[in-house]
């Protein structure tokens, strides 16, 4: 059960206000978009006004998610977004817990003086809000949002579109229920969403079988030419430069899921996908078993995430990011092995 007083406060805010802005993190994934767009539709079903603002352009890979076309990217439409925020009664921040995860949009939200709500499942929250929902044990923000909605008494507003978006976030953030998904309660949530009409086959086709040929060619290149193992360890690295990406006509979101492929090997315990960007380098880290990549990301790169899925941003060159990762991951892994007595 969620904290009763927090739920009551949440209900007061929802019931007594009419204009809401929902915000998710930079380069939003399925859980970020699924949760914000699910809550947007729920609020619309309640007769409220609700808008979704993303810090940057949402990947076209997720253009099939209900409500995707209504999102506004702050970096492209800052004036229009500022107006929407200025007129809002409430801002709800979802699937992130630090303002540095939303670029310049964070500066705008710092100045927002009306009600702010946080709904998130990452460790070490660093935001000041009025209504605080944070639980790192949750598999996804979408599963957390489902529990909030039902315990708040709003389950009657979960239409098939809301349910499908919630299911999408759960499936993407758990790799199809393959990690961060051992809580039996999660499967009761999934069952209820299916009862509400979610087309499971359709969602899985969109998530897992919806790639362009250029993405498959990029994946083949990444696995054959850019994947290597740190000697004498079960740790692998996959690093792609801007030049590599441009060679395959890269679009944002094209590398979705790439980081997971090396984990299919019995010889790999953890893998990192390092992507060079014009202004930074992004690291996505995945692991198997109880190897805590979220602790590594937080300790060495100021990032975060979950036991088996974490990420961070490095401001420097691709080569420096790669070298720093290998040096510190080797140290972290050896210390972890020593603690396990293995």
**Whole-angstrom distance, CA of residue 141 vs CA of residue 306:** 12
Q: Is the pLDDT of residue 192 over 60?
A: yes
- What confidence category does residue 180 fall into, taking pLDDT thresholds of 50, 70 and 90? confident
Q: Could you give the 3-state DSSP secondary structure of residue 214?
A: helix
- What confidence category does residue 342 fall into, taking pLDDT thresholds of 50, 70 and 90? low
Nearest Cα residue to 149 out of 40, 9, 42: 42
**Whole-angstrom distance, CA of residue 72 vs CA of residue 266:** 42
Question: 59-78: per-residue pLDDT in tens?
Answer: 998 999 999 999 999 999 99
pTM summary value: 0.91
- What confidence category does residue 1 fall into, taking pLDDT thresholds of 50, 70 and 90? confident
- The predicted pLDDT at position 124 comes to 84
Give me the mean pLDDT over the 256-274 stretch. 96
Return the H-helix or E-strand segment holding 193. Answer: helix 184-195
- The predicted pLDDT at position 63 comes to 95
Q: Is the pLDDT of residue 13 over 80?
A: yes
**Whole-angstrom distance, CA of residue 171 vs CA of residue 287:** 17
Neighbouring CB atoms inside 10 A of 97's CB total 23
Sheet with 131-134, side-by-side order of all strands = 72-73, 49-54, 19-23, 90-94, 115-120, 131-134
- The predicted pLDDT at position 123 comes to 85
Question: 95-153: per-residue pLDDT in tens?
Answer: 999 998 898 999 999 999 999 999 999 988 999 999 999 999 999 999 999 999 999 99
Question: 304-334: per-residue pLDDT in tens?
Answer: 888 999 999 999 999 999 999 999 999 999 9
Nearest Cα residue to 248 out of 240, 256, 259: 240
Question: 153-169: per-residue pLDDT in tens?
Answer: 999 999 999 999 999 99
Question: 92-101: per-residue pLDDT in tens?
Answer: 999 999 998 8
- The predicted pLDDT at position 55 comes to 97
């Amino acid at each position: 059960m969620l904290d009763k007083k927090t739920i009551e406060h949440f209900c007061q805010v929802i019931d007594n206000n009419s204009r809401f802005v929902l915000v998710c993190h930079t380069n939003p994934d399925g859980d970020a978009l699924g949760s914000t767009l699910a809550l947007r539709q729920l609020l619309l079903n309640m007769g409220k006004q609700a808008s979704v603002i993303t810090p940057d352009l949402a990947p076209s890979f997720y253009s099939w998610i209900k409500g995707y076309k209504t999102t506004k990217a702050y970096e492209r439409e800052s004036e229009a977004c500022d107006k929407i925020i200025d007129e809002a009664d409430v801002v709800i921040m979802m699937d992130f817990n630090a303002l540095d995860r939303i670029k310049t949009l964070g500066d705008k939200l710092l100045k927002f003086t009306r009600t702010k709500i946080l709904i998130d499942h990452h460790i070490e929250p660093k935001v000041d809000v009025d209504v605080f929902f944070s639980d790192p044990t949750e598999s996804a923000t979408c599963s957390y949002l489902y529990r909030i909605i039902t315990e708040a008494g709003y389950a009657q507003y979960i239409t098939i579109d809301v349910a499908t978006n919630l299911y999408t976030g759960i499936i993407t953030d758990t790799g199809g229920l393959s990690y961060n998904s051992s809580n039996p309660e999660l499967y009761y949530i999934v069952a209820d969403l299916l009862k509400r009409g979610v087309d499971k086959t359709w969602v899985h086709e969109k998530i897992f079988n919806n790639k362009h040929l250029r993405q498959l060619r990029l994946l083949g290149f990444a696995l054959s030419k850019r994947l290597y193992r740190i000697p004498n360890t079960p740790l692998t690295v996959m690093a792609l430069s801007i030049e590599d990406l441009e060679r395959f006509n890269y679009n944002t979101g094209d590398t979705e899921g790439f980081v997971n492929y090396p984990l299919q090997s019995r010889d790999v315990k953890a893998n990192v996908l390092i992507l060079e960007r014009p202004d930074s380098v992004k690291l996505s880290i995945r692991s198997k078993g109880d190897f805590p990549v979220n602790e590594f990301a937080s300790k060495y790169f100021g990032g975060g995430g979950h036991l088996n899925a974490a990420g961070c941003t490095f401001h420097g060159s691709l080569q420096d990011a790669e070298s720093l990762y290998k040096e510190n991951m080797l140290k972290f892994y050896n210390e972890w092995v020593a603690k396990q007595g293995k």
